[in-house]
Amino acid sequence: MKPGFIAGEVWSGLRRNLSMALSVILVTMVSMFLLGLGLLAQRQADTMKGYWYDRIQVSIYLCTDNSLQPNCQGQAATEAQEQSIESQLRAMPEVKEVFQETEAEAFERFKEQFRNSPITGNVQLGDIPQSFRVQLSDPTKYAVVTSQFERAPGVASVQDQEKVLKRFFQIINWITAFSVFLATLMVICATLLMATTIRQAAFIRRREIGIMRLVGASNWTIRMPFIIEMLVVAALGVGLAVGMLWLGLRLIFNLGFNQVILNKALIGANDVWSLTPWLFGGVIVIAVLTSVVTLRRYLRV
Amino acid sequence: MIRFDNVTKVYPRSTRPALADVNVNVERGEFVFVVGPSGSGKSTLLRLALREERATGGTVLVAGQDLNSMSSRKVPRFRRQIGAVFQDFRLLPGKTVDQNVAFALQVIGKPSSAIRQLVPETLEMVGLEGKGKRLPHQLSGGEQQRVAIARAVVNKPQILLCDEPTGNLDPKISLDIVRLLDRINRAGTTVLMATHDADTVNAMRRRVVQLEEGVVVRDAEHATYLAATTPSESPTLLEDPDAVEDVEGIDDIGDLDPERFGAEEGR
């Protein structure tokens, strides 16, 4: 069987069954796009985790005169309490660095962070308590700090940023799970559609197949054009999906978020490229398996 | 070359055997007519020889191979030694005459140099020189059947099986086609031709195997076509009280293939 002859058969087959070929391309594209989206979201989460865990801090807020926490007993933290907390912190092996943030600094930072928000006007110096910001050498050990200082005299509250991040990563995990779930449904759709397309293509070409069988063409000669057709169509679908992922990443992430200094924490085109062989491989395996199984059922000698 | 030993064929969902204990032996280079009314088992005989069907009982030997024990994988290679021609020509409407004949060689992996030589050679042999660029619908019925014959013999098979090859053709054209088959036979190919066309059989005076209701009732050399001993061509029509009379438009109804509408499954 000449490659040129097979190519001709594949081309004429695709042309005669164009609407089905298009639908397989589109369904493959959507399923692989969703799958890629889910996997990219997961990668984004992983990248961010690495980035944020290095910077994660535990904040120990000190009491002020109008603190409502029972631990404060309505009194501001004393100089001695402050010093005792700081020295205890510095003595802990889990602690990498300690910064003290005064009320003035906290107020400045707040104004800077919320400069576009109307709440700024209602907040005055002293509303935000002074705090110790603790950088841990191992961010997962925050519980040690929390438990030691929660009840310490002069401490209003201990806040751990990991709790906030955990929630954020939880959301990303849900997005991933949901898109992978949708992708699974779409892959099932794609598989069924491929099977239907092959059945229809076999029906359209029943004359050719009849003659091929009559003159003694081998089973693989009869089946090969169908398999190649499916491969071409499925590969086009994955190609489009990869293109869309790349484009989406560029437009939404790398251009839209560029102002934010999160750049290092973002995934890029490289992550799309490293997914590509897996998406292609998966679809090729699905296309070949579906073709072979369907042809075995519907093209008996 | 083709040998049927006590061959019986019963189709699924049928009580009456299509062939019952048939013994036929066709030697290399013979030309044999298989005659008989519709439903007598002619086509079944050819389908068994082509291994489109398997015998229910008995042995079918074709080109030295036992078709009952042949594995499906070996069927394509076996069919390359057999040519087949049918009443409905079975040409590919989108391909030219050249392409139709070449298709048979392309799909069995012949090198294109051989194809370029064999196709015009064979078309000339069947009397279609200069018509290679035409499409099937631009040809007469007789010419279309010549294309089908060219396709069947282009790979130089040992055996040529013809199922009612003249069934759709005028008497004069039919005779031309049978003369062509005769010429192919004289070149060494064994020819087995099923027909119920008395004129062509009588014109050739070759061996005739007559079937009736799946049984060989006559096997004679240099014979003529004898009328069937059963008076009717299709006896079921007379016996069946529910049979539809010849109503106008009944032919169109016949186009509805029950299998496509799921009637078979419903039963």
Is the domain of A182 the same as that of A291?
yes
Closest CA of chain A from B201, distance in Å: 26
Residue B30 belongs to some domain of the structure? yes
Spatial distance between the Cα atoms of A204 and A198, rounded to a whole number of angstroms: 10
Is the domain of A280 the same as that of A173?
yes
Residue B77 belongs to some domain of the structure? yes
By CB neighbour count within 10 A (0-12 exposed, 13-18 middle, 19+ buried), where does B239 fall? exposed
- The structure tokens listed for A94 are 């889990």
Percentage of residues of chain A with pLDDT beyond 70: 90
Is the domain of A151 the same as that of A213?
no
Question: Any idea what the Cα angle at residue B34 is, between residues B28 and B40, rounded to 5°?
Answer: 140
CATH number for position B171: 3.40.50.300
E strands, B75-229, are 82-86, 159-163, 190-195, 207-212, 215-220
Residue B187 belongs to some domain of the structure? yes
- Please give the backbone phi and psi of residue A285, each rounded to the nearest 5 degrees, phi first: -60, -45
Res B266: pLDDT: 35
* Domain termination residue (choose one: A132, A161, A190): A161
- The structure tokens listed for B61 are 């030997």
Res B227: pLDDT: 59
Spatial distance between the Cα atoms of A113 and A116, rounded to a whole number of angstroms: 8
The range of the structural domain enclosing residue B166 comes to: 2-81+157-231
Is the domain of A177 the same as that of A70?
no
Residue B170 belongs to some domain of the structure? yes
The range of the structural domain enclosing residue A21 comes to: 3-52+166-298
Each residue's pLDDT tens digit, B181-198: 999 999 999 999 999 888
| Chain A residues in contact with chain B using a Cβ-Cβ cutoff of 8 Å | 1-2, 5, 12, 207-208, 210-219, 221-222, 301
- Please give the backbone phi and psi of residue A92, each rounded to the nearest 5 degrees, phi first: -75, 135
Is the domain of A230 the same as that of A144?
no
- Mean pLDDT over residues A249-261, rounded? 64
Put simply, the answer to whether B73 touches A219 (Cβ < 8 Å) is yes
Closest CA of chain B from A208, distance in Å: 7
pLDDT band at residue A70 under the 50/70/90 scheme:
confident
Q: Is 0.85 exceeded by the ipTM?
A: no
Put simply, the answer to whether A213 touches B151 (Cβ < 8 Å) is no
pLDDT band at residue A257 under the 50/70/90 scheme:
low
Put simply, whether B118 touches A (Cβ < 8 Å) is no
Cα nearest neighbour of A221 on chain B:
B107
Of B50, B92, B108, the CB nearest to A217: B108
Spatial distance between the Cα atoms of B130 and B139, rounded to a whole number of angstroms: 12
Contact between A21 and A231 under an 8 Å Cβ cutoff? The reply is no
CATH number for position A154: 3.30.70.3040
- Please give the backbone phi and psi of residue A212, each rounded to the nearest 5 degrees, phi first: -60, -45
Spatial distance between the Cα atoms of A108 and B201, rounded to a whole number of angstroms: 112
Res A253: pLDDT: 66
Is the domain of A183 the same as that of A261?
yes
| Torsion angle, alpha carbons of B113, B115, B120, B126, to 10 | 150
Task: Write down how long chain A is.
Answer: 301
Is the domain of A41 the same as that of A125?
no
Q: Using alpha carbons, select from B149, B163, B148 the residue that is nearest to residue B42.
A: B163
Of B76, B93, B103, the CB nearest to A219: B76
Residue B111 belongs to some domain of the structure? no
Residue B27 belongs to some domain of the structure? yes
Q: How far apart are the first and last CA of chain A?
A: 19
Is the domain of A40 the same as that of A62?
no
Spatial distance between the Cα atoms of A253 and B196, rounded to a whole number of angstroms: 78
Contact between A288 and A231 under an 8 Å Cβ cutoff? The reply is yes
Residue B167 belongs to some domain of the structure? yes
Instruction: List per-residue pLDDT tens for chain B, 267 residues long.
Output: 899 999 999 998 888 899 999 999 999 999 999 999 888 999 999 999 999 999 999 999 999 999 999 998 899 999 999 999 999 999 999 899 999 999 999 999 899 999 999 999 999 999 999 999 999 999 999 999 999 999 999 999 999 999 999 998 999 999 999 999 999 999 999 999 999 888 889 988 899 999 999 999 999 888 888 755 544 444 444 444 444 444 444 444 334 444 443 333 333
pLDDT score of A160 more than 80: no
Is the domain of A104 the same as that of A191?
no
Instruction: Please report residues of B whose CB lies closer than 8 A to that of A9.
Output: none
Put simply, the answer to whether A216 touches B84 (Cβ < 8 Å) is no
Label the pairing between strands B190-195 and B159-163: parallel
Instruction: Please report residues of A whose CB lies closer than 8 A to that of B93.
Output: 207
Mean pLDDT of chain A, nearest integer:
82
Contact between B60 and B192 under an 8 Å Cβ cutoff? The reply is no
Put simply, whether B106 touches A (Cβ < 8 Å) is yes
Got the DSSP string for B202-224? HHH--EEEEEETTEEEEEETT--
Of A1, A208, A219, the CB nearest to B109: A1
Each residue's pLDDT tens digit, B117-126: 999 999 999 9
The DSSP H or E segment spanning B151 is helix B141-153
* Domain termination residue (choose one: A161, A191, A211): A161
Put simply, the answer to whether B107 touches A2 (Cβ < 8 Å) is no
Res A17: pLDDT: 86
Q: How many independent structural domains does chain B possess? A: 1
Put simply, whether B76 touches A (Cβ < 8 Å) is yes
Instruction: Please report residues of A whose CB lies closer than 8 A to that of B77.
Output: 216, 218
Residue B265 belongs to some domain of the structure? no
Q: How many independent structural domains does chain A possess? A: 2
Is the domain of A155 the same as that of A171?
no
Is the domain of A33 the same as that of A114?
no
Each residue's pLDDT tens digit, A95-135: 888 888 888 888 887 777 666 666 666 777 777 788 888 88
C-alpha of B207 from chain center: 17
Identity of residue B66: D
* Domain termination residue (choose one: A93, A126, A161): A161
